[in-house]
Each structure stands twice: as structure tokens, then as C-alpha cells.
Amino acid sequence: MTADSELTELTDWQRELRVHFPIITAHPEMAYLDSAATSQKPRAVLDAVQTYLTTTNANAGRGSYPWANHTTALVERTRQRVKEFLGDPEPGRSRVHFTSGTTEGLRTVARDWLPGHLADGDEILVPFADHRANLDPWLEAQRLLARQGVTVHLRELPYQEPSGDYDHRALAGVIGPRTRFVAVTHIHHVYGGDMNVQRIRDAVGPHVPICLDAAQSIGHLPVSVDRLDVDFVVFSGHKALALPGSGAVWARNASERGPEFRPGGWNGTPNTVGITSLEAALDWLDAAGTDRIARWTTALTARLTEGLRRLLPYEILGCQASLAVGSTVQRRHGIVTFRHRDIPSDDLGFILYDHGFMVRADNLCQAGTDKRDGSVRVSVHVYNTVEEIDRLLTVLATLE
Ligand code: PMP
């Protein structure tokens, strides 16, 4: 199926869903194209928050009166909801720990679980050009262990230029008998490509725990831990239609792959409003269908990529050749990042805003880069339209 026929088939479905987003319909003159930074929220999420705060707001796990009991039940129910949303085949064994987002989630794995799993001389495989959130915590864990006299080696998960995929062929050279842990990203926040987690699993074998940064996949495409053989899935609610400050770590707790993930200690009051919003967002996403959301956003990005490729001054970052809908090599999910040959990316960001487009323009928090590596990132969600993409291409063409 081509991108255009995909878009035609889903047009009515998308039109109905777009009106669920009050901020989008209130600003028809603006195109919000920065969903990889944070998503907009459907009315159902806003209503759930309003209802919670005006009917049963209380602390969780502390009171014995109905509002408190309701809140405690809400937190536990949402834990189960996250497992269900992820297609968890063993919800009795796994664990969901709420965090403020992906950054805190990855740090929790690095701080509360990883050190107890590593011995002197062990190696962990981490990506050096993913989001900083997926590098800094592993460096911190290494430093923490070093202070205890335990030396852990960080091996770089190699990248393939210019596709932005992990270099699966070079992987064999960095995996060894002491490889004890791998951190990977599901959908790359700059290149937009699916990072082929299954191929990483095949390369490292069945016994090495894998932690998946799913910040750009949860809420954008179906994510099933029944199919993805990983041990941790970490995500941010705010990128998946819920409120900022809501996120989670899902841990498989497969005993053969290390100790149980049980973040210990006193966690304090949970973000019950965020958790309320997360439950409503997951319900909304399931009702809309993450498979259809993925088809829509993938087709929009394919259209944008194809259009950009015809405009000479632009260089697209990441995979060029396999962007088409239906590609089995490496699909681009909802993100297209590019540069103009002559216009600095910061300037391009301002120019696009003047034309009604909100995009991201800087180094995109990518580890190992700085401001000089600036680019413009366009990222879409279910509320974005074909008309917005075509309008953007028209404006970009005038800047040749
Ligand atoms: N990982 C990836 C791939 C991301 O895109 C982001 C957010 N841009 C993060 C981690 C960090 O997410 P948060 O800021 O919600 O903690």
C-alpha cells in the first residue's frame, strides 16, 4: 500500500479523531509538528483529570475514607492497565513502577536495579548517539560502582552512517562473554527509525537483559512485550497523550535475567493526577487503535520525506532508502529531521513559526552533539493532517 492510499483510506477516521483535541481545533491557523517533544491531549484526558480533581482527589495508599480508597484503587488499576496496554503475557510476574517520565525511569533502572546485577569487569552495551536520557544514567551507574571499587566497562552500541540505525554487523565485535546489559531505543528521536530491537536480542542471545527506551513509541504504534523480548520498557506519559510528570517503567522480572526489579525505599506521594491522565490516555489510544495511528503517522512522514527529497537545499538525517510505508527494512515513525544547506536551523525554526508551523530546531538532546549540529525536526501525531504536511512542503520550497 502506498502512503497516499493509506492516507485516503484513513481520512474519515482521522477527521473524527482530530476534533477530540481542543488545543488543535482552537488554532486552525497553526500546525503543531512537535509531538516527539510532547503530545497534545484529547478531551477525554482533560475530562478525566477534571473529574478526578473535583470528585475524589486524595492521597493514595494512606487513608481509609472513600476518596482515598478510590485513589489507591486508581493507582493499582492503572498499573494493571499499563501491563494490559503493553500486551504483557505474564502480568502476575511483571512490575510497573510510576515515574515522572522516561528520564527518571531509565535513571531508576540504572540506580536501583543495574548495580546489583553487575560484578567487577562486566560490560554493558549502551548507545552513544541516542537521547541523552538513555546515556547519562548508565554513565552514572558506572561512576557509582567505581566508587564501590567495581569497574564496569561501557561498550558503545555502534551506529551505522547515515541510516541512523544501530550497526548490526559491527555489533558482534562489541558483544562478549562479559556483556551483562544492553540499553536500546525503540524509535530514534532524531532519525525516526525503528531500531530493530529483535536484531539486538538475536545478537546478544537470550540471557542478557535489554532495557528499551520507548519514549517515542508508546502512544505512536503498537508496542507488545509479548513480541518484543526486552526486560524493561520505559516511557513518558506526556508523549502519549497524558500529562507531563506521568511515566512508567515496566519490568518483565524474568528470573533468569537478573534480580527482580523492585525499586525500594519510600517513594512519597504518587502523581495521582498524572496517573489519572495516563489511564484515560491509554483508554483513548486503545479505542483509536495504535495500529491505525501508526499507519497514519508513518504515511504522513513518508509523504513529507518524499516531498523533501525533491527539494535540493535540504538534507534529511537518517535513513533515506527505506522510508516507504510497508518497508520491512526500517520504517520511519512520525519523525523527519532535516537541515537546510544555507539557512541555520534556529533561523529555519523561526521562519517556519512565522508561517504557522511549530517544529523543534536545535540539537534535539542527542548525546554527543552540540548546538553546531542543529537540525529541524518535524514530528506528527494522529491530529496532524495531509494538508499541514503539504502546506509545510510548499513553504519549504519557497526557501530554496
Ligand atoms: N528518550 C527519548 C528517545 C526521547 O525522545 C525523550 C524525550 N525527547 C526522552 C528519552 C526523555 O523523555 P522525558 O523528557 O519525558 O523524560
Q: Which CATH architecture has domain 3-41+289-398?
A: Alpha-Beta Complex (3.90)
Atom of ligand 1 nearest to the CA of 187: 3
Q: 105 and 136 in contact (C-beta within 8 Å)? A: no
Q: 209 and 231 in contact (C-beta within 8 Å)? A: yes
pTM: 0.96
Over its length of 400 residues, how does the chain's per-residue pLDDT go in tens digits? 788 899 999 999 999 999 999 999 999 999 999 999 999 999 999 999 999 999 999 999 877 899 999 999 999 999 999 999 999 999 999 999 999 999 999 999 999 999 999 999 999 999 988 899 999 999 999 999 999 999 999 999 988 877 788 888 889 899 999 999 999 999 999 989 889 899 999 999 999 999 999 999 999 999 999 999 999 999 999 999 999 999 999 999 998 999 999 987 777 899 999 999 999 999 999 999 999 999 999 999 999 998 998 999 999 998 765 455 455 445 778 999 999 999 999 999 999 999 999 999 987 787 777 666 789 999 999 999 999 999 999 999 999 7
35 CA → ligand 1 middle, Å: 11
Of 327, 308, 299, give the one whose Cα is nearest residue 375.
Answer: 308
- Integer Cα distance of 350 and 359 in angstroms: 9
- CB distance 236 to ligand 1 below 6 Å: yes
* CATH topology for the 46-287 domain: Aspartate Aminotransferase; domain 2 (3.40.640)
Mapping DSSP to helix (H, G, I), strand (E, B) and coil, where does residue 131 land? strand
For residue 277, what is its C-alpha cell? 491522565
Q: What percent of the residues of the chain are helix, what percent strand, and what percent coil, each to the nearest 5?
A: 40, 15, 40
Atom of ligand 1 nearest to the CA of 102: 16
Best probe residue, ligand 1, of 233, 236, 364 (max atoms within 8 Å of C-beta): 236
- CB distance 35 to ligand 1 below 6 Å: no
Phi, psi dihedrals of residue 116, rounded to the nearest 5°: -70, -5
Sorted by where each begins, the domain ranges of the chain are: 3-41+289-398, 46-287
Angle at alpha carbon of residue 321, lines to 2 and 335, rounded to 5°: 75
- CB distance 131 to ligand 1 below 6 Å: yes
Q: Is the dihedral of CA 227, 228, 229, 233 positive or negative?
A: negative
CB atoms inside a 10 Å sphere around CB 43: 14
